[in-house]
Amino acid sequence: MAEKRNIFLVGPMGAGKSTIGRQIARQLHLDFYDSDTEIERRTGADISWVFELEGEEGFRVREEKVIEDLTEHMGIVLATGGGSIMSKESRNRLSARGVVVYLETTIEKQLARTQRDKRRPLIAEADDPRKVLEELAEVRNPLYEEIADITVRTDEQSAKVVVNEIVEKLGVNGLG
């Protein structure tokens, strides 16, 4: 029997990593993890509280450890936090330990999908969320592209269509 590979979803907040990741895991009979949910489980506190108490730097240290731990599993789908790729160590681990799928989306879609979500500390209190998202995209999009094995746009498609497209591309890459 072939060894089960990992599928790691990267991309900006609001791209659909958690929603799509759960569906891919279900369809391929893999375990699903969400790095933000795992941080919350380990700390016993929500992401906003961790950011407030430890700042983004403290949060990123926790995130890097969670990604290190979870990428050691086999046969998982992992939805990463949007900023997880800021760590070179995390980028290296994701690239080396599975297939990286970049879920690409527009700033407009991100705004629409995150506008009422108070669990997004980088934009929850921002005076100009669009400006914050544009600045994040400028820094992060090249890093997503750098480690992506597969890139899929999530803008105008349902989660089901995106999942099917990813599963089909994974098959072409020897996973499906």
Q: Do the annotations mark residue 18 as ligand-binding?
A: yes
Q: Do the annotations mark residue 55 as ligand-binding?
A: no
Q: Do the annotations mark residue 120 as ligand-binding?
A: yes
**Collapsing DSSP states into helix, strand and coil, what is residue 100?**
strand
CB 165, CB 173: distance < 8 Å: no
CB 117, CB 126: distance < 8 Å: no
Rg (CA), the chain: 15
Q: Do the annotations mark residue 95 as ligand-binding?
A: no
Q: Which residue has the tokens 């820094």?
A: 139
Phi, psi of 159, deg, nearest 5: -55, -40
Compute the CA torsion angle 139, 155, 84, 164 (nearest 10 deg).
Answer: -140
Q: Do the annotations mark residue 19 as ligand-binding?
A: yes
Q: Do the annotations mark residue 112 as ligand-binding?
A: no
Q: Do the annotations mark residue 42 as ligand-binding?
A: no
CB 109, CB 154: distance < 8 Å: yes
Q: Do the annotations mark residue 119 as ligand-binding?
A: no
Q: Do the annotations mark residue 15 as ligand-binding?
A: yes
Instruction: List the binding residues for ATP.
Output: 14-19, 120, 157
Instruction: List the binding residues for Mg(2+).
Output: 18
Instruction: List the binding residues for substrate.
Output: 36, 60, 82, 140
Instruction: List the binding residues.
Output: 14-19, 36, 60, 82, 120, 140, 157
